[in-house]
Amino acid sequence: MKTVYKTALPLVMGMALASAAPVAKAADLEFYFPVGVNAPAVATIEQLTNAWAEQNPQHTVKAVYAGNYEETTTKALTAAQAGSPPQVAVLLAIDIFTLIEEDVIIPITDLATSPEEQAWIDGFYEGFMVDTRFDGKTYSIPFQRSTPVFYYNKDAFRAAGLDPEAPPTTWDEMVEIGKKLTVKDENGNVTQWGTRIPNLGLAGAWLFGGLVVSKGDVLSTDTGTEARFDTEAARASLEFLQRLADEEVMAPGGITWGDTPKAFLEGQAASIWTSTGNLAFVNENVEFDWGVGFLPGGDGPGAPVGGGNFYIFKDTTDEEQAAALEFIKFMTTPENAAIWSMATGYVAPRADAWATPEMQDYAERLPQALVALDQMPHAYREFATFQRARVTQYLVDAIEGTITGETDAASALAEAQEKADDILGEYR
Amino acid sequence: MSQGLNRIALATLAFVLAAVWGLPFLYSIWTAFHPEKYSANFVWNAPLTLSNFTEAWKAAPFALYFLNTVILITTVLVANLILCTLVAYAFVRYRFRWAGILFSFVMVQLLISPEILIVENYLTLSTIGLTDTIIGIALPYLTSAFGIFLLRQTFMTVPKSLDEAAQIEGASAWRVLWTVYVPLARPVYLAYGLVSISFHWNNFLWPLIVTNSPEVRPVTVGLSVFATVESGIEWSLVNAATLMTTAPLIIAFLIFQRQFVANFMRTGIK
């Protein structure tokens, strides 16, 4: 397969040069994609890529499942370093700095230059575009993007004498309402916690970014060289997490991401903070009346955005790059973005996708999906810098150290800041 | 009296360790055969179901993946047994220049974790056009420093007199290897085979990176589809898929258990 493609391409190009007659610009694309949601998503990806190949018989595209985000990035970088990169891949939006540093991607705006293409790029929600830009260029196109929302159990709200249509909107309300939602049995053991915010690992750092945004600050800026850990907003956010545990609104100690939806479904938590990617899963398995609201915020609403974008790789031919761009355009048409969003729970990244009849029906069936969209103007990019993996780990360590009581918020964040500055100093 | 106490203490310790080892396994069996609702909810009369297995089976082309894994581990094992035996035999039986240094080169490889070499190995495979093939996955593992070391140590314990007696009878070097050394090292071969098979059965990152087509990918790649971090984990599905992919190994172990244990004991005593 590989060798055929390698010998065929120069041949085709040679023919094009020799004959000067219009030749269909054929390209064989390899498209690496990760699966971050449910297993059936693989089938949806294949359905979409096959549809593109049918519409463009001169091209072929091979969708290559490449593990989770981290593994897909490793695979794409390895292949790129060996000189055989995929033409197009879906990788984390926040990996932009890593990919630029490794010099393996081409800015989308270098390829999409026509006015129509400019309009297409402008059609994506700004909240999803902030982390695609570097140095005045757009490097990626939003595809599977998510943002966390506040899921709550309306039956539990009623049982506690609370208004099921009025979820908490501020941190103080969260504490106040959460205290009422925490239920203990006669032995004093908690059977239902007021809320559940995952605070371990990268997911914990992701949600933490939303807390900081709601306090009017950010953890990182678009230069990729600045980490803002030792700030008033970050300290307040970490103290809020501690306060939830201290006031028995949330279980003390570490809280995992993966088990959070289940804790909600099984009634162990009356509310959870988790990704819109769980909407379909919760909706299918839920046995009580439930609702979704904005994440309660410090000074106002605030949330992080996360997820993966399309990147086009260097070391590929002009024909391949052009075909890759066409492929990305196809995957983000209103209809296809709607199909992908409905299959997975990711937030469709364009307003025109939400205007399709299918999406309108979906929003009617699952009005909870609209909350994430309404929250988008308050959402800001996820933490991203050069050397992201290492720098994020310092933040993770600071959060985990504080919630387990090993250290206090202020000194943990100050230490993380110092270590991050050590690394990022080189890039400034 | 104190011996009796010792035995009780040892037995208790054995039970505790067995429970620590066995509980996650029992849990995965429980969740795999019950609907997701009961995955953290132990009700004795919870309805049993096989739907997790059918759903997991359909999520990836597992039949193909199983075949690929079997081809992969067979290739690796056969090549390992042949190459490691020959190398070990040469180190033990022949005195040649640089033997010590060469052996230390082999030993140094034990210190290098295979992950570090991923990019370099990929580059090599890509140059010779073997990415995205089963032989490409197997190539870096066709010989093994650990296997050479293990067999060399075993061959060294074979009494010199046996070798000499065979030579006096007129046996060639090949014949000595085949009739003296190999039979005496049988338990080691079995132990090594087990370790090698389970390692390659579980290997994930390297096959994922060098392959693109389902036609050549092993079961672990199929299994990883279920590690759905973003949307919360469906334990029943994950566990059904895990049981399904590990079942051949577990069944093989149960069948050959007596032999494995006996062999490990013997190798251990030496």
- What pLDDT is attached to residue A280? 79
Nearest to B134 by CA among B231, B68, B54: B68
pTM of the model: 0.83
Q: How far is A68 from chain B (nearest CA, A)?
A: 8
B101 occurs within a structural domain: yes
Task: Please provide the DSSP assignment of B107-134 as one string.
Answer: HHHTTS-GGGGHHHHHHHHHHTT-TTSH
For residue B229 the two structure tokens come to 């971090």
According to DSSP, residue B178 is labeled I
ipTM here: 0.79
Whether the Cβ atoms of residue B147 and residue B80 lie closer than 8 Å to each other: yes
Structural domain of B138: 60-224
- What pLDDT is attached to residue A282? 87
Closest Cβ opposite residue A275 in set B59, B221, B230: B230
Chain A residues in contact with B230 by the CB 8 A cut-off are: 36-37, 146, 275, 277
- What pLDDT is attached to residue B250? 86
Q: How far is B165 from chain A (nearest CA, A)?
A: 54
Q: For residue range A99-119, what is the model confidence (pLDDT) as tens digits?
A: 999 999 999 999 999 999 999
Q: C-alpha distances in angstroms, B240 versus A25, A64, B33, B73, B202?
A: 46, 24, 7, 23, 16
pLDDT (tens, 9 = 90+) of chain B, 270 residues, equals 577 888 999 999 999 999 999 998 888 888 889 887 777 677 777 788 888 898 888 877 889 999 999 999 999 999 999 999 999 999 999 988 899 999 999 999 989 888 888 989 999 999 999 999 999 999 999 999 999 999 999 999 999 899 999 999 999 999 999 999 999 998 889 889 988 998 999 999 999 999 988 889 999 888 887 765 555 567 788 888 889 988 988 888 888 777 767 666 665 544
B91 occurs within a structural domain: yes
- What pLDDT is attached to residue B49? 87
Q: Are strands A28-33 and A60-65 parallel, antiparallel or unpaired?
A: parallel
What is the CATH number for B80?
A: 1.10.3720.10
Q: For residue range B113-128, what is the model confidence (pLDDT) as tens digits?
A: 888 889 899 999 999 9
Q: How far is B66 from chain A (nearest CA, A)?
A: 17
**B99: Cβ contacts below 8 Å, ≥ 6 apart:** B91
- What pLDDT is attached to residue A88? 96
B160 occurs within a structural domain: yes
Chain B residues in contact with A60 by the CB 8 A cut-off are: none
What is the number of CB-based contacts under 8 A between chain A and chain B?
Answer: 101
Nearest CA in chain B to A4: B129
- What pLDDT is attached to residue A98? 93
B265 occurs within a structural domain: no
Nearest CA in chain A to B220: A67
Cα B260 vs. chain centroid, distance in angstroms? 13
Nearest to B210 by CA among B77, B146, B120: B120
B32 occurs within a structural domain: no
Level-2 CATH architecture, domain A2-146+306-370: 3-Layer(aba) Sandwich (3.40)
Q: Do domains A2-146+306-370 and A148-304+387-427 have the same CATH topology?
A: yes
B237 occurs within a structural domain: no
- What pLDDT is attached to residue A362? 92
B181 occurs within a structural domain: yes
Query: B232–A274: do the CB atoms touch at under 8 Å?
Result: yes
- What pLDDT is attached to residue A18? 38
Helix, strand, coil distribution of chain B in percent, nearest 5: 75, 0, 25
Residue with tokens 């891949």: A89
Parse chain A into domains and list their residue ranges: 2-146+306-370, 148-304+387-427
CATH class of A148-304+387-427: alpha beta
Q: C-alpha distances in angstroms, A97 versus A102, A334, A381, B108?
A: 9, 29, 13, 36
A283 touches chain B (CB under 8 A): no
Nearest to A91 by CA among A130, A139, A135: A139
A73 touches chain B (CB under 8 A): no
B26 occurs within a structural domain: no
- Looking at the structure of chain B, the number of domains it has is 1
**Separation CA A303–CA A212 (nearest Å):** 8
- What pLDDT is attached to residue A22? 36
Q: How far is B197 from chain A (nearest CA, A)?
A: 23
- What pLDDT is attached to residue A15? 40
What is the length of chain A?
428
Query: A281–B226: do the CB atoms touch at under 8 Å?
Result: no
Show the low-confidence residues of chain A (pLDDT under 50).
Answer: 1-24
Residue with tokens 């087990």: B194
